[in-house]
């Protein structure tokens, strides 16, 4: 059967990575979480104090050639984990500290050019599910299947809040809601490749949809597209 490229874009905390992982597993495709790449660059910037109290985004741009990102498979967990300059940073990139800064870092054109080029190389010639904000519009505008995920801000903040509490972070619901809304605003209004639905994307609003129902729908959709491309 013909292997296709599946682009999953959408707002923060809409469960893009959950559905993308399920889909990649069911189809035996590669999964790439592009948000993890923007988060890893942000972690590098935080460690170097390029973002935080005083931003020095020019210094971050200067340092870009020194930032090496890699997805390394973790066979035990059955997932790939993000490595920044040889170090596993999978946990650190998911903290609120990184979430607070990442949208700003993702507005930097040089950062986007570097990461988009890496993403395009990763998918060449293989079955691929990639999630992010600009996959169907910029990274793979010719993807055979494009999905755009959305849900109410409250539904998304509630999910994210639970996730952070489960990981032991001390945060308030209000802070998480504010972060989700702020990131959506920055992501949708930035100049370079803003978050927007590709004209040919299928919209999934999962505010009131369970994980199983969502998976079944998206999976059926993917099988339909794969068959029509074979």
| Least Cβ distance, residue 133 to ligand DC (angstroms) | 4
Q: Which stretch binds ligand DC (CB under 6 A): 45-53, 64-72, 127-135, 140-148?
A: 127-135
Q: Which residues contact 168 (CB under 8 A, 6 or more apart)?
A: none
Q: Which stretch binds ligand DC (CB under 6 A): 82-90, 102-110, 121-129, 145-153?
A: 102-110
The answer to the question of residue 106 lying near ligand DC (CB under 6 A) is yes
Number of residues that bind ligand DC (CB under 6 A): 13
In three-state secondary structure terms, 213 is: helix
Closer residue to ligand DC (CB): 94 or 218:
94
Among 34, 101, 137, 179, binds ligand DC (CB under 6 A): 34
What is the DSSP secondary structure assignment for residue 92, as one 8-state letter? Answer: G
Closer residue to ligand DC (CB): 102 or 155:
102
Closer residue to ligand DC (CB): 159 or 183:
183
Instruction: Kindly report the backbone phi and psi dihedral angles of residue 99, in degrees, each rounded to the nearest multiple of 5, phi listed first.
Output: -60, -35
The answer to the question of residue 39 lying near ligand DC (CB under 6 A) is yes
By CB atoms closer than 10 A (0-12, 13-18, 19+), residue 111 is: buried
The answer to the question of residue 183 lying near ligand DC (CB under 6 A) is yes
Distance between CA atoms of residues 224 and 199, nearest Å:
19
| Least Cβ distance, residue 2 to ligand DC (angstroms) | 25
The answer to the question of residue 7 lying near ligand DC (CB under 6 A) is no
CB burial string 139-168: b at 16+ within 10 A, e below:
bbeebbbbbbbbbebebbbbbbbeebeeee
Distance between CA atoms of residues 4 and 28, nearest Å:
11
Distance between CA atoms of residues 152 and 78, nearest Å:
31
**C-beta separation of 25 from 221 below 8 A:** no
Closer residue to ligand DC (CB): 106 or 155:
106
Distance between CA atoms of residues 108 and 117, nearest Å:
15
**C-beta separation of 32 from 13 below 8 A:** no
The answer to the question of residue 46 lying near ligand DC (CB under 6 A) is no
Binding to ligand DC, residues 131-150 (CB under 6 A): 132-134
The answer to the question of residue 187 lying near ligand DC (CB under 6 A) is yes
Chain residues that interact with ligand DC, rule: CB under 6 A: 12, 34-35, 38-39, 102-103, 106, 132-134, 183, 187
């Amino acid at each position: 059967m013909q292997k296709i490229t599946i682009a999953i874009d959408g707002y923060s905390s809409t469960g893009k990575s959950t559905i993308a992982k399920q889909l990649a597993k069911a189809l035996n495709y590669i999964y790439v979480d592009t948000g993890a790449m923007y988060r890893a660059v942000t972690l590098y910037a935080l460690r170097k104090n390029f973002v935080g109290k005083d931003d020095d985004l020019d210094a971050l741009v200067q340092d870009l050639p020194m930032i090496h990102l890699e997805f390394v498979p973790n066979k035990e967990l059955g997932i790939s984990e993000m490595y920044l300059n040889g170090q596993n940073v999978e946990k650190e990139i998911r903290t609120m500290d990184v979430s607070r800064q990442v949208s700003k870092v993702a507005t930097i054109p040089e950062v986007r050019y570097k990461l988009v080029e890496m993403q395009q190389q990763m998918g060449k010639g293989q079955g691929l599910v990639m999630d992010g904000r600009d996959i169907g519009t910029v990274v793979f505008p010719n993807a055979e299947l494009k999905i755009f995920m959305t849900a109410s801000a409250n539904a998304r903040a509630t999910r994210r809040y639970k996730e952070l509490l489960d990981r032991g972070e001390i945060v308030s619901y209000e802070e998480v809601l504010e972060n989700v809304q702020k990131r959506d605003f920055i992501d949708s209004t930035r100049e370079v490749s803003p978050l927007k639905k590709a004209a040919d994307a299928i919209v999934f609003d999962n505010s009131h949809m369970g994980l199983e129902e969502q998976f079944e729908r998206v999976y059926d959709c993917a099988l339909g597209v794969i068959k029509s491309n074979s």
